[in-house]
Copies of this chain bind each other. A is one copy, B any other.
Amino acid sequence: MEPKGKKILIADDEPDILEILSYNLTREGYETITAKDGEDAIQKARLYKPDLIMLDVMMPNKNGMEVCKLLRTQPVYQDTLIIFLTALSDETSHIKGLEYGADDFISKPVSPKILVSKVNALFRRIQKPDDKTIQTGSIIIDPVKFVVTINGQDIVLAKKEFELLHLLATKPGRVFLRNEILSQIWGTEVIVGDRTIDVHIRKIRQKLGIDCITTVKGVGYKMVV
């Protein structure tokens, strides 16, 4: 199977389980990293930035719940998928796990078929929300990479310019009032003149080359569809 470019961290204190999970996921094209306990999992997570983390609930040196809780507090792991490995019919863990932000559960003993299908399903599900890119027409806006790609060419925008374009692109065709724009980009605290928006709009139009922003006189601006 061709590589999927996804890293999976597996944490369990039983080497046999690690072996089985790792083998099956590797065969599916995933890259796997293993950890033998909670502390090890946290360290490896920090090191490898996996896309998915599988945590055994019962582990020495911080159990799965604790690890999950800890990771979720950090913004970097906000979008990381987390699966718990639980004993069959362990309802308490399920409820607690959901509170801590688990994405799914797999019961032991692990069926390779279920394992693989669940993992695939999760990655399929986040495919959209994970890349928060917005595409309208030939313009691709990627807030993660902080670049605007247009016809395959990357264009660098300044922070405010980017935020402004991104805001308009969230609802293409919808008109954003000047007030809306001000409160969204600048916040309610700072007060800037009206011309400020114009100037930024101009710079965006200039840098993009394409006229993708329409002026609605007396109202605001909108993205063309």
Contact = CB atoms under 8 A, between A and B. Distances in A.
Interface in A123-150: 124-125, 128, 132, 143-147
Interface residues of A, number: 42
B76 A158 contact: no
Nearest to A26: B124
A50 B21 CA distance: 28
Contacts of A177: 75
Contact of A144 (B33, B124, B125, B174): B174
Contact of A125 (B19, B74, B159): B19
A146 B175 contact: yes
A20 B90 CA distance: 27
Contacts of A159: 216-219
A145 B76 contact: no
Copies per complex? 2
A34 B132 CA distance: 12
Nearest to A143: B47
Contact of A146 (B145, B171, B222): B222
A205 interface: no
A207 interface: no
Contacts of A144: 174-175
18 contacts: A19-B121, A19-B125, A23-B124, A26-B124, A34-B128, A46-B184, A48-B132, A49-B170, A74-B184, A76-B180, A76-B183, A144-B174, A144-B175, A145-B173, A146-B219, A146-B222, A159-B216, A159-B217
Closest 5 CB pairs of A and B: A159-B218, A49-B170, A146-B175, A145-B173, A146-B216
